[in-house]
Amino acid sequence: MLLLRLIYESILFAFNSLRANRLRTFLSLLGITIGIFAIISVFTVIDSLERYIRDSLNSLGSNMVYVQKWPWAPPEGETEYPWWKYLNRPVSEIDEADEVLRRGKTIDNAAFLFGFSRTAQYGSSKIENATIMATSEGLLDVWSLKLTSGRYFTETEMRNGAPVAVIGYEIAQQLFEGMNPVGRTIKIQGHKFLIIGVYEQMGQDAFGTSMDKNIHISAVKSFYMVDVRNRDRGQTICVKAKDNIDNDKFIAELEGIMRNIRRLKPLEENDFALNEVSIISNQFDQFFAVFNLAGAIIGGFSILVGGFGIANIMFVSVKERTKIIGIQKSLGAKRYFILLQFIFEAIVLSVIGGIIGLLLIFIGTIIVSYATEFTIVLTMANIINGLLISSVIGFIAGFMPARAAAKLDPVIAINSV
């Protein structure tokens, strides 16, 4: 009870002192506010960016492997990307996707896909360089796509190359503003396509891709529109694992199937790449580790300046209140009471500055999220970090002035000018 009473009285003294010296308090708050604003805003932006990228990576599928010509990263243990080794590799083919699905025991579904650009037209409305996504029938399940109207392709339509298409939300808005696209016909490269469905709006991910801007057609139909034979147009086989399947087992089986399809000898290297989301994720782990360190260093200097400001103001405060300290000591105040009084004053000052800094960051996140498509969130972890940093800086900045005040001789202090 005595300790709690001493803490309460110390905090009360601190608040009274801060209220009595408003200009000095404001100047002290300014430094720590800028410091907390700098360091926590950096952490907030980095956390939001990381969350945005992680969500985009998760949309690619954690249980998914992309069979492609080019790997997404250099071989493990190497820093140089040996592109010359991959240049003459064959591209993935639609028949290989069918074989992978037929043979795989750990494979849930597989879809062949590639993209190309063409002009899409409906009446007088036209979209230049629209992205045409050509795939086999498994894409809806593999990418967990949803339709807002109409229907998806039937297996027969996909395999026979029927002139039908499912379009993205933005394509529908640009070509059919105010109209229902389902049942209408668009023209692509002289070919007419009946719109049978519209995908649900997904938004753009961190890599700039989105089904909202795609026109989805059968890969078989696309072979009459673009030459893909031995030409690299980003042909990919997206392979989805069954639920609760060990990832290593899934990869091993898929690699064995692809080697068998390509008729590779036991000592021959793979002429294909098995790309997983974890490859990109690991690259981003290193990137964000460096980014966080750089942000901490930059923000740390701002906090340091704010701490020096508080320490300076606290030394001035001790100087001004030397007589009061002498009187308090002569009336029986203990050293730790004087020590706590000034330490709590510094901590309170620093925490108030931190709260103002966090409030400014919160306002900034609302403005940025409202004005742009990028959502910035001030997390509870960063709020707690901001308050903890403020408290620690306040304690460090106030300790030396408080120690000097606690060691004053009461007689000399009372007689000071």
279-321 pLDDT tens trace? 666 667 777 777 778 777 777 777 787 788 788 777 877 777 7
Is residue 104 scored above 80 in pLDDT?
yes
Helix axes 277-320, 22-60, angle to 10 degrees: 170
Token match 């400001």: residue?
A: 309
Is residue 242 scored above 80 in pLDDT?
yes
* Alpha-carbon distances of 19 from 14, 24, 326, rounded to whole Å: 9, 10, 22
Closest CA to 138 of 162, 100, 109: 109
Per-residue model confidence as pLDDT tens digits over 156-177: 999 999 999 999 999 999 999 8
The predicted structure's pLDDT at residue 6: 61
The predicted structure's pLDDT at residue 2: 57
Percent of the chain at pLDDT > 70 equals 88
Helix (H, G, I), strand (E, B) or coil at 228: coil
The predicted structure's pLDDT at residue 102: 92
The predicted structure's pLDDT at residue 377: 81
The predicted structure's pLDDT at residue 62: 60
Per-residue model confidence as pLDDT tens digits over 360-406: 888 988 888 787 767 788 888 888 888 888 888 888 888 888 888 88
Using CB atoms within 10 A of its CB, is residue 226 exposed (0-12), middle (13-18) or buried (19+)?
middle
Is residue 3 scored above 70 in pLDDT?
no
Give the residue with greater pLDDT, 410 vs 223.
223
Strand stretches in 304-403, DSSP E:
none
The kind and range of the H/E element at 236 are strand 236-241
Q: Averaged over 101-128, what is the pLDDT?
A: 92
For the chain, give the mean pLDDT: 83
The predicted structure's pLDDT at residue 232: 86
Confidence of residue 205 (pLDDT cuts 50, 70, 90): low
Confidence of residue 231 (pLDDT cuts 50, 70, 90): confident
Is residue 206 scored above 60 in pLDDT?
no
**CA dist., res. 342 & res. 404, Å (int):** 10
Per-residue model confidence as pLDDT tens digits over 29-47: 777 888 888 888 888 888 8
Lowest mean pLDDT: which of 66-70, 77-81, 117-121, 123-127? 77-81
The predicted structure's pLDDT at residue 283: 66
